[in-house]
Amino acid sequence: MADTMDISMDPTPLVGSVNEAAAVEVGHNTTTTEPDDFNLLSEQFMTWLKSRPGVSINPNIALVDLRSENAGRGVTVSTAPLTPETPLFTLPHSSTLSVLTSPLTTKFIPDAMAKLGQENPWIALVLALLYETRPDSEWKPYIDLLPRDFDTLMYWTPSELKSLTGSAVLGKIGKDEAEEEFKSMLGPIINSHKDLFQATELQFDHLTDGVDESSLLSCSHRMASCIMSYSFDIKKTVSNPNTTDDSDSGSEDEDEEAQYYKAMVPLADLLNADADKNNARLFQQPYSLTMSLLHDLPAQTLLYNDYGPLPRSDLLRRYGYITQNYAQFDVVELKGDLLTETIIRMKNPTLSPVEKLKRIDFLIDEELLEDAFDLPVPEPGAKNVPSEWAGIYVVLTQPVGGKSKLPSSSSALKKIMKTRGYRECVGEILRKRLAMYPPKEEIEAGLASEEEVCLRTKRRVKMAREVREGEIAILEALIKEVEGWVVEEEEEDKMTKEDRGNKRKVSDSCSVGDNRKKARK
């Protein structure tokens, strides 16, 4: 659940802080307020933000109503051109909403927040946002602007999710896991400090005197979804309040992650994103965050932040929308199990379970076998099948009894990639993955027909169809590529005995059997 937006340190972008949080997204109508309230809430928000200490907003930018484009709000250059030398806006760290700046941490329950922040920083930020749903919260104009309805996959019905059948994104939603965390981590803290949360949007059960479970889940899902779509990863500095040095413990990856914290950054999160349209970026200074242009922009130009090269499946999961501009980043996820099982079934069916496990462990140790392989959009004229597959093929097809080993040279590996057996296996693997996508008519049957629901469902199914068709196109292109591979291995099965004898007379050292053995060493 660690999804957020790209922040750059001034002047060098932060490596590893890709956090694709953003605005009310293109193609994603997250607004649930009444039409007459929409612009009023925008005005109240801007008035509130401008009044905060240390906040500076360029008078030549403005919020715009993009509901006619099904895109909620956006930020635009309004009346005159702007250049990168002129900041769009600057906010001090104190005007970001995070676990570090929350009154729960700085005033009320610092120990509980510190423990929760160490266990699950994401859930800790959910709690901080829940606390700010009080009517008297200083963050009320910002909280009121956050959406209540989402098109992210967490909110899709089972029949709507069925329209994504075949895509690996269905295994990444994590709704059950999230709800278990809400109940086990947030429930006890809220019930232990009811005085802090009685005035929030959470409802309490008068019989049990505890937070109502359905209310807890509903409110927590909203805040977690806002974090998913809007939050930024900010690098800890000595100027950030309550930061601690975690560099002496944990793995290298954990140490790097510990150098960042999640924060809601008002106004920065209202920029839309649409791949190559990126024209602005949030930069971090020691005491503030500044949004700046990447190049000159004329008046009446929408501002776009950057989500990074996200496939449309992830864009839909995290933000609830897709655009054609992200099609270039589509990927198909192919499980490593499908790869190994297919190779063994086709080329080494007598391999014992014990020997199979030994070889798989060897491939994992050699960093060839992954839990899953991402297959991106194929590049014309390139070798688009992962090169690791040839090494996996070699190890899994070696005779029983010998020690698992890889080809001794890249040229030997390339020979394997040109054999008929390898081509047959790769083709079958791709076809089996393609078969996981049922026909459109089958998976889109049985959707809700009520008019109000149907409009939403039609939009979601259309997006799912585009995701599914993009992934299918990748597999079909790869299958076509594999079918066009030139097979240089001699087709021994088509030779007559006389042909084999004549060939051996020409050169024993070049026999088919010898060639095959050399290729598998």
C-alpha distances in angstroms, 38 versus 22, 65, 66, 139?
19, 8, 11, 18
* Closest to 429 (Cα-Cα) out of 469, 377, 470, 372: 372
The tens-digit pLDDT sequence of the chain (521 residues) is 445 555 654 433 332 233 333 332 333 344 344 456 999 999 999 999 999 999 999 999 999 998 888 778 999 998 899 999 999 999 999 999 999 999 999 999 999 999 999 999 999 999 999 999 999 999 999 999 999 999 999 999 999 999 999 999 999 999 999 999 999 999 999 999 999 999 999 999 988 889 999 999 999 999 999 999 999 999 987 555 455 444 444 455 555 566 899 999 999 999 999 999 999 999 999 999 999 999 999 999 999 999 999 999 999 999 999 999 999 999 999 999 999 999 999 999 999 999 999 999 999 999 999 999 999 999 999 999 999 999 999 999 998 877 778 877 888 888 999 999 999 999 999 999 999 999 988 887 766 555 556 888 999 999 999 999 999 999 999 999 999 998 875 444 444 444 444 444 433 433 333 333 333 33
- Structure token pair of residue 42: 């925008």
Residues spanned by CATH 3.90.1410.10 within the chain? 7-329
| 169-187: burial string, b at 16+ Cβ within 10 Å, e else | beeebeeeebbebbeebbb
Around Cβ 423, how many Cβ atoms within 10 Å? Answer: 19
Which H helix or E strand runs over 280? Answer: strand 280-284
Residues spanned by CATH 3.90.1420.10 within the chain? 331-489
C-alpha distances in angstroms, 343 versus 228, 350, 392, 474?
39, 12, 9, 21
Q: How many alpha carbons fall within 13 Å on the CB side of residue 340?
A: 24
Concatenate the DSSP letters of all residues of 181-222 into one string.
HIIIIIHHHHHHTHHHHTTSS--EETTTTEE-HHHHHHHHHH
The amino acid present at 484, given as its one-letter code, is G
What Rg value do the Cα atoms of the chain yield, rounded? 28
The amino acid present at 159, given as its one-letter code, is S
* Closest to 49 (Cα-Cα) out of 92, 20, 78, 102: 92
Q: What CATH number does the domain located at 7-329 have? A: 3.90.1410.10
- Structure token pair of residue 334: 């192919």
Q: Please state whether beta strands 89-92 and 56-57 pair in parallel, antiparallel, or not at all (unpaired).
A: antiparallel
Backbone angles phi, psi at 282, to 5 degrees: -90, 125
Query: Which residues have CB under 8 Å from 186's CB, separation 6+?
Result: 123, 126, 127, 130, 216, 220
Query: Which residues have CB under 8 Å from 108's CB, separation 6+?
Result: 193, 196
Concatenate the DSSP letters of all residues of 18-81 into one string.
-----SS-TT-----S-HHHHHHHHHHHHHHHHHSTT-EE-TTEEEEE-GGGT--EEEEE-SS-
The three-point CA angle 159-164-169 to 5° equals: 120
Backbone angles phi, psi at 264, to 5 degrees: -90, 130
- CATH class, range 331-489: alpha beta
